[in-house]
Structure 1
Amino acid sequence: MFQFIIILGVVLLLVILFTLFRISRLVSVVKGSDKKVASTSNKVNAALFMVFLIGGFGFFFWYSWTYFDDYNLPVASDHGVWTDTLFWVTMAVTGIVFIITNVLLFWFSYAYQHKDGVKAKFYPDNVKLELLWTVVPAIVLAGLVFTGLQAWNDITSAASEDAEIVEIMGYQFAWGVRYPGVKDNALGEYNYQLIDAVNQFGMDLKDKNSYDDFMPIEMHIPKGKEVLLKIRARDVLHSVFLPHFRVKMDAVPGMPTHFKFTATKSTQDMREELGDPEFDYFVTCTEICGKGHFSMKLKLVVDEPADFEKWKSEQPTWLKLNPDYLSKVPEEKRELAKIKAGIVEGDENNLKASI
């Protein structure tokens, strides 16, 4: 700490000395000195423009090449391939324009620095040039916007009838997931007014579809089958982010959202691809939602279809784990609730008829 204070003091001293030097030079100009005070510093500033241009772009390209694999994660979903393609096309278009405009900006600052006896050219307007740099960017940007809109419409459109439905809810500071039971494959209704310390999803036990719903401690999805994420938030704004699947959607209180995708690589596939036996997918939050935002992570496992079905069949229903809530089930549906929840063994034929 003491060494840092010394270094900081030296830097501040140099800044003060440089400022005093500049003030003295400017004062001499104000007094009408014939001495050409701007010549040297002007050349230095012009040269620094080129140094910054070369150094900045050099660092930019070196960093992008060296750490490319760290920020370009392997894609593990169908739509993620198309999303990546759109991203890199956009990066190419905007990147080329960025490089050209900045090279010209810094080069012009160097090449057309102040020189005695040289007068700047007055170039008021050029209609053709203005049309060119207005129409061409408009066409290019329209193309990027409409292709992006097509991808957006695809991932937010209605899911297929056999899609695997998973409800995910964000709350400070964790994620909860709810699955429809294997007996009816339909999520029960919910009511936010029913949320309490145990019924965190606000499940409405008047709805018979809720009796076999279950809430595991980790999220599982099948490989190769469409998954529909039903997303909501219980308190503040959150954001569901699955980087390897290129999934990102805000979880907004009072406004359910959704996202559909198909995983193409199981957890084991990705472990083998990366050579990392400890690899796991995670759901994270990318919306700063409070002091515990950093801890909002939920493990996600991508199973082979047969393994996923086996996992689902082994999950206890929420009502079975919380039998006290049977008292909130309407009396005429209580027997059905016990059967669907697995609290008692029942006649499967009667159960199917009831459903």
Structure 2
Amino acid sequence: MHTFLLVVILVLGFIITVQIARATEFVSIIQGEEKTRKQSNRINAVLLLIFLFVGLFGVYWAHHTLGDKILKLGTAASDHGIKVDKMLTYTLIATGLVFFVTQILLFWYSFRYQERENRKPYFFPHNNKLEMLWTVVPAIVLTILIAFGLVYWFQITGPAPENAATVEITGSQFKWEFRYPGKDGVLGKKNYKYIDESQDNSLGLIWDDVATHDDIVSGGPLHLVVGKPVKLVIGSKDVIHSVGLPHFRLKMDAVPGTPTTLWFTPLKTTKQMIEETGNENFVFEIACDQMCGAGHTAMRGEIIVETQEEYDQWMATQKPQYQIAVLDKQEPAADSTAAVAVASIADENK
């Protein structure tokens, strides 16, 4: 029924448009084509001038009333984010200047130089210097902006500092999962063939690889240390997702079977951002920036940026996934090796 009504509305709208066009044509025949054309030109010229002022006021109003609802330039919470904000500032200055100049001239000229009986049009078909100017100048400006973007991109996706922490982020419909290396600082091997939710192995970790025995798996929030570089190893278990970090000004796609990486250094803790924003419920957000299905808009993660001491305290409360999936499920009477392994892993993570 809803579809039928929509089709009927569209058909009626088309019929009304055709009838208005025909009525306009009949009026022009009665009044005379030239008189009708001049009258239309005057009306359109006035409307364009009104649209200019209303549009400029709309830009001001939107900025004034909605400015607090968007991320502001200069508030980035990561080292790379500061550079991205600078690049965006340069881009807005260049494109904003062109936008306002061209739009004001466009609508003003439409009003100022409308058709009049005592005015003859001046045809300006070709000018090599002018064409060279409006081709070369934009090309140079855009090349500079692109160069900034490429430099920052290679920095973000390039090798992370040697002291950087490593965290793996895996997306699936519709959630994020995080894996931290244990004391060895190495993420163990995994394979999608080993994924088994019923056996507490949602990431497909290979238990035969000793490096997986101290890996911590968490459904969130993601914990990071302020002032310490972190390398994110990003992947997906099903479709393409995208790790969007708006407060850090970063984004990277999560592609099934093809790990991607980026690194950055958080500069502000969650507590500092709560004080700066005045929002006691503030959290650093992980948004999926790639349409990934019906639950895409609900695929949201959180990040807690804290001090090293707070991070260590949190890490000490976490159990390695190997302990949860394997050791805790062994028979109590199996042998004492399991108890020794649990104690060893717990001591390493403290």
TM over 0.5: yes
Is 1:196 matched up with 2:199? no
Change (3 A) 1:325 1:118: farther
Match of 1:227 among 227, 230, 233: 230
Residue aligned with 1:101, SS: helix
Structure 2: distance between partners of 1:326 and 1:24: 82
TM-score normalised per structure 1: 0.84
Change (3 A) 1:139 1:317: same
8 A Cα contact 2:176 2:219, kept in partner:
no
Structure 1: distance between partners of 2:58 and 2:32: 42
Structure 1: distance between partners of 2:138 and 2:242: 32
1:174-220 per-position Cα deviation (integer Å, ceiling 9, x unaligned): 000000012x1110111122222232212122321111101123210
Matches within 5 A, 1:27-106: 27-30=26-29, 33=32, 36-73=35-72, 74-106=75-107
Matches within 5 A, 1:138-287: 138-182=139-183, 184-197=184-197, 198-218=200-220, 219-287=222-290
8 A Cα contact 2:207 2:322, kept in partner:
no
The alpha-carbon deviation at position 52 of structure 1 amounts to 0.8
| Counterpart residue number, 2:122 | 121
Matched residue type, 2:308? P
1:47-70 per-position Cα deviation (integer Å, ceiling 9, x unaligned): 101111110111012211332232
Matched residue type, 1:319? Y
Matched residue type, 2:257? G
The alpha-carbon deviation at position 117 of structure 1 amounts to 5.4
The alpha-carbon deviation at position 118 of structure 1 amounts to 3.5
| Counterpart residue number, 2:300 | 297
Structure 2: distance between partners of 1:33 and 1:272: 70
Matched residue type, 2:61? W
Change (3 A) 1:232 1:118: same
Structure 1: distance between partners of 2:40 and 2:261: 59
Structure 2: distance between partners of 1:287 and 1:78: 24
1:33-55 per-position Cα deviation (integer Å, ceiling 9, x unaligned): 47722332221111101111110
| Counterpart residue number, 1:26 | 25
Change (3 A) 1:43 1:252: same
The alpha-carbon deviation at position 90 of structure 1 amounts to 0.3
- Of 188-197 and 45-54, deviating more is 188-197
TM-score normalised per structure 2: 0.85
8 A Cα contact 2:247 2:285, kept in partner:
no
8 A Cα contact 1:319 1:326, kept in partner:
no
The alpha-carbon deviation at position 289 of structure 1 amounts to 0.7
- Of 95-104 and 71-80, deviating more is 71-80
8 A Cα contact 1:283 1:298, kept in partner:
yes
Change (3 A) 1:81 1:345: closer
Change (3 A) 1:22 1:192: closer
- Of 64-73 and 48-57, deviating more is 64-73
- Matched residue count: 328
Change (3 A) 1:38 1:283: same
8 A Cα contact 1:25 1:37, kept in partner:
no
The alpha-carbon deviation at position 237 of structure 1 amounts to 1.0
The alpha-carbon deviation at position 22 of structure 1 amounts to 5.5
| Counterpart residue number, 1:330 | none
